[in-house]
Structure 1
Amino acid sequence: MMPYTYILINFFTIIICFLASFDKRIQFHKLFGKFLISSAIVAIPFIGWDIWFTAKGVWWFDLRYTMGFKMAGLPIEEWLFFFCIPFACVFTYYCLDKFFNLDWANAFNNLIVFAAVIILSVTGLLFYDRIYTLVTIIVTIFTLCYLHFIGKKEWIGKASFVYLVLMPGFFAVNGILTGSLIQSPVVNYNPDEFMGIRMGTIPVEDAVYGYSQFLLIIYFFKKLTESKEQKIPSY
């Protein structure tokens, strides 16, 4: 079972959401194409980041937990990770937005953006010599500033709330990948390249990394789905 650990993590992350996508009340399966495009757009720079950091030894993978197939230095399971995890996240966002009114969370847009930028900026200045910390902070600040000040997106609060709802899943998946419930981590981190603050076994940077990735995928997903809706004539 050990060589299938990572692929099974991906599988169990996605399978329930995938099956539920065909529910008549949800019909998320009709948006699979939009999801794949938005996820791929975001995956390209994030996979590049992953390849770079793996090559530099910022993090590395215990190949005993993988099937042994690699592309550009990354296990094939890691490539799938950039589609499986976002699928579960976007599906959850879609369902919560569809069945519940979460617009109240958007009242906190300014607070979320300004507080996050200040906290991240201070952290970046304190840990500028830790490359994982610094790059994650730069990407997240850029993402928030672009969405809020340039894109003027009103859903940042809503998306941030959904990301909090996703935290139990985040701790389950990332926890196993970083060593919870298994003998050793699937993903190992160079202690000189991150702050060293962990939530259980998970570096705190992982949560910030995931937040920026989530926001960007939601941005492109909304852009694609909303443009489709605008083409439908009203009578």
Structure 2
Amino acid sequence: MWQYTYLAINFFTVIICFLFSFHPKINFHRHFKAFLMAAVLVAAFFIAWDVWFTKIGVWWFNDRYLLGKRLFGLPIEELMFFICIPFSCVFTYFCLDKFFKLDWKKNIERIFVIISIVILLCLSFYFRDRIYPFTTFLTTAISLFLLHFILKVKWIGKASFIYLILMPGFLAVNGILTGTGLDSPIVNYNPDKIIGIRIFTIPVEDTIYGYEMILWNLFFFYKFKRKEETQMNNL
């Protein structure tokens, strides 16, 4: 039964959110197409990153907890991860944004983004000899710059707050993946390629990696959602 462990993690991460997507006061199911388009687009980048890091030994997977089927050198459960996790996060953001006013003032959000970029760039330079933190901090800094200053999104502060709300779930899921409650981790990390600071069993870089992934999922989800709504209004 252990070979179903990673699959079960994906399933239980998404099932509650999926069921509530059909609630008449939420109706997130109407936006499944927009979400899938966004998730697949963002996943293409992160899967390429995953394939590269797996190939050079930054991390690897424990076959004991896997079905054994692989694509691009990655377990199929790992590919599902890039759909299941974003679904739960985007759904949660959608719900909280629908029922609560969580918007930040423009100036406060800009200060937050600038400070975050500076900190991330400093960290990427400091850890330039360790590929996981270097790549993660640098690409997240670039992502924040693009989203805020080039693409002019106005929800980074709100998304950051909601990501913080989601952190207990993140720690639970990533905790199991990195070995919490198991005899050995499902995902193993090369200690020479990471900072070495962990939240329980989770490399601290994972929190920034997940943050960047969710930001881009939100951006493309709302982009495709607006396009769908425009097409519907033109009918």
Q: Into which bin does the TM-score normalised by the smaller protein fall? A: over 0.9
Letter of the aligned partner of 2:32 in structure 1?
F
Partner of 2:187 in structure 1? 187
Matched, 1:72 2:76: no
Task: Compute the displacement of 1:99 (Å).
Answer: 0.8
Q: Distance in 2 between matches of 1:172 and 1:79?
A: 19
Which runs of no fewer than 5 residues in structure 1 stay unpaired? none
Q: Distance in 2 between matches of 1:48 and 1:92?
A: 26
Task: Compute the displacement of 1:225 (Å).
Answer: 1.0
Letter of the aligned partner of 1:185 in structure 2?
P
Q: Secondary structure at the match of 1:60?
A: strand
Q: Distance in 1 between matches of 2:105 and 2:93?
A: 13
Matched, 1:18 2:18: yes
Q: Distance in 2 between matches of 1:106 and 1:33?
A: 31
Deviation string 1:118-165 (CA, Å, 9 cap, x unpaired) is 111111111101011111112101110001110111111111111011
Q: Distance in 2 between matches of 1:107 and 1:21?
A: 34
Q: Distance in 2 between matches of 1:153 and 1:30?
A: 23
User: What pairs up with 1:126-141 in 2 under 5 angstroms?
Assistant: 126-141=126-141
Partner of 1:215 in structure 2? 215
Q: Secondary structure at the match of 1:104?
A: coil
TM-score w.r.t. length of structure 2: 0.96
Letter of the aligned partner of 2:128 in structure 1?
Y
- Equivalences, count: 234
Task: Compute the displacement of 1:228 (Å).
Answer: 2.7
Partner of 1:164 in structure 2? 164
Q: Distance in 2 between matches of 1:231 and 1:118?
A: 40
Q: Secondary structure at the match of 1:188?
A: strand
Task: Compute the displacement of 1:106 (Å).
Answer: 5.6
Letter of the aligned partner of 1:71 in structure 2?
L
Task: Compute the displacement of 1:230 (Å).
Answer: 3.6
Q: Distance in 2 between matches of 1:114 and 1:189?
A: 30
Q: Distance in 2 between matches of 1:8 and 1:231?
A: 37
Which runs of no fewer than 5 residues in structure 2 stay unpaired? none
Task: Compute the displacement of 1:105 (Å).
Answer: 6.4
User: What pairs up with 1:1-235 in 2 under 5 angstroms?
Assistant: 1-104=1-104, 108-231=108-231, 233=233
Q: Distance in 1 between matches of 2:135 and 2:107?
A: 29
Task: Compute the displacement of 1:59 (Å).
Answer: 0.2
Q: Distance in 1 between matches of 2:137 and 2:227?
A: 31
Q: Distance in 2 between matches of 1:106 and 1:212?
A: 21
CA 107–13 in structure 1, closer or farther in 2 if over 3 Å, else same: farther
Q: Distance in 2 between matches of 1:105 and 1:204?
A: 29
User: Please, what is the CA RMSD of the aligned residues?
Assistant: 1.3
Large movers: runs of 4+ above 6 Å: none
CA 230–205 in structure 1, closer or farther in 2 if over 3 Å, else same: same
Q: Report sequence identity in percent.
A: 55
Letter of the aligned partner of 1:205 in structure 2?
E
Task: Compute the displacement of 1:112 (Å).
Answer: 2.0
